[in-house]
Structure 1
């Protein structure tokens, strides 16, 4: 109360410089409010249930990777995809299937089952759902010595938000002069910030992306801030950050997003370890996608 009183009392004595400072403060507050999650009457929740065995898989929605499992063995997992839908309309699911490690072709042990699901509400994912799209790896791929399988499958989804402006207003990075040098340079900046435990540098870079995720999954204000707090916990004093060595650049969203990934595993290049090499080893990874708004000379994180 004392601070508020002092502020109110000082209003009549503001100089031009003080007025500018107050205006800047109000703009900052307005900018913070801009990233407050929106609330909706309906909260549809879309996922892709994937089961696979005898193969490795990559799954994309609207040309953005949503799941990648290049290790041997079977699994079944339900992958949330609201954040890559961006807006209502027709969307594209792309499935890539590779032989298991040590094999040249898909065989009789290879299977992949895909089920795009719609749940009525994000807080009740165990409730009944409606299947939007189903797909099974064709039987002929198992008997004709296929070294690789890929398919694109359209599906429709209706959501109460429209985040399409983010990529609509982004430039196409792929094919630009010197873009690879710029991408690597930005990842070096990220690596430096990771080593320096500078979580705020990442948070500032990913504000629009963080807002989009929060909106797409209908996070409350508390959940939004908890997510940011959880991100900060990745910056651990006891962790040793790995150098960026063998890597390659991957493009997504029709060339508008760029990732630096490890060669071979295609995993994140921003990695740190706690107790590396020991039984209680813990790996920490940060995956960032770079995009750039039209007319800007700086990257943001998707």
Structure 2
């Protein structure tokens, strides 16, 4: 079971494992081709345009929640909004084949305007290439004040039927309008562009969509492009990032609640603004962090640099480290009673200004 949260416990929590397990070494070897294929695709498909493209909001102070409902079959996938990971479905959790769920996108929509969505699709778990049947569905919608009864579908993105990414050349479209009136359109198939998935080891689909939010936030939009620092100035971003991760690891190992809250301050403030947190909700989040940091049921795994993979997001302005064995965060906690239950702690770092230090956002 995967949980993406946070945790700690000095001696009781810190694992005494001193070297990488053979199981992890084997998993990394198995993933070598996957990572190379993925890296090649990313380098091939580098963006020439950065999103969002800002537009004035039309909704005033409405508490709007933008939302993408997803469903999949016979594949693994990652979904990015403006080149920042929204969700993924890969590895052991994808063993059974598909998933259905919804995702609020506000925390990645820093301003109103045109945004980019990117879906990176992979073959089913344990397979090297796609077979017939691989599909990812996306339905774009928004609602207000936390009330799903106010849901409005994005008609530019195929409305309630959504977009289906698969190898078929047509898509089912539901009834439209009111029966017996001129607005009525009976359900039917409409043509669409099929994806050339069969036989491929990876496929990436991109599009844009418009979304309104009642705020205009900077976030990481004006941060330094770390990828360019590495490529043009030959800066060792990975070494700098590893040093920051070691500090995070120490904070967690020492159960330093104050240090942890300071570490994630910018991130939590951004989440609070985009998700409309009340003061009560802010306090509840702090309490949850305190409880997790003092939970003795988990042990903190040591860091092994040979497992680290550098990953840029946000068009090069954000950076993180992924684990080569499974693509999850490198700071992880294991349930001492159930080794199959893990908590992965994900962090994105930015450099706010030239010459500044990396910080969590």
Normalised TM-score (structure 2): 0.67
Aligned to 2:131: 107
Aligned to 2:26: none
Instruction: From the superposition, tell whether residues 205 and 143 of structure 1 become closer, same or farther in structure 2 (CA, over 3 Å).
Output: closer
RMSD, matched Cα: 1.9
Q: Is the 8 A contact 2:197 2:203 kept in 1?
A: no
Residues in 2 aligned to 1:239 and 1:120: alpha-carbon distance in whole angstroms: 38
Mapping of 1:189-228 within 5 angstroms? 189-228=247-286
Instruction: From the superposition, tell whether residues 42 and 261 of structure 1 become closer, same or farther in structure 2 (CA, over 3 Å).
Output: same
Residues in 2 aligned to 1:192 and 1:124: alpha-carbon distance in whole angstroms: 41
2:136 counterpart of 1:83: no
Aligned to 1:284: 343
CA-to-partner distance for each residue in 1:217-237, whole Å, 9 max, x for gaps?
111111112112212222123
Instruction: From the superposition, tell whether residues 157 and 143 of structure 1 become closer, same or farther in structure 2 (CA, over 3 Å).
Output: closer
Mapping of 1:167-182 within 5 angstroms? 167-174=220-227, 175-176=229-230, 177-182=235-240
Per-residue deviation, 1:145: 2.1
Q: Of 320, 329, 346, which residue of structure 2 is paired with 1:259?
A: 320
Q: Is the 8 A contact 1:197 1:237 kept in 2?
A: no
Residues in 1 aligned to 2:273 and 2:355: alpha-carbon distance in whole angstroms: 24
Q: Is the 8 A contact 1:257 1:289 kept in 2?
A: yes
Mapping of 1:123-138 within 5 angstroms? 123-125=146-148, 127-131=150-154, 133=157, 134-138=162-166
CA-to-partner distance for each residue in 1:168-197, whole Å, 9 max, x for gaps?
331111243121110011001111111111
3-state secondary structure, aligned to 2:219: helix
Aligned to 2:219: 166
Aligned to 2:143: 119
Instruction: From the superposition, tell whether residues 104 and 207 of structure 1 become closer, same or farther in structure 2 (CA, over 3 Å).
Output: same
Larger gyration radius, structure 1 or structure 2 = 1
3-state secondary structure, aligned to 1:183: helix
Residues in 2 aligned to 1:223 and 1:82: alpha-carbon distance in whole angstroms: 17
Q: Is the 8 A contact 2:166 2:197 kept in 1?
A: no
How many residue pairs align between the two structures?
259
Normalised TM-score (structure 1): 0.80
Per-residue deviation, 1:297: 2.8
Q: Is the 8 A contact 1:52 1:113 kept in 2?
A: yes
Q: Which moved more, 1:126-135 or 1:215-224?
A: 126-135
Unmatched tracts of structure 2, length 5 or more = 1-59, 168-193
3-state secondary structure, aligned to 2:255: coil
2:284 counterpart of 1:242: no
Q: Is the 8 A contact 2:297 2:337 kept in 1?
A: no
Per-residue deviation, 1:201: 1.6
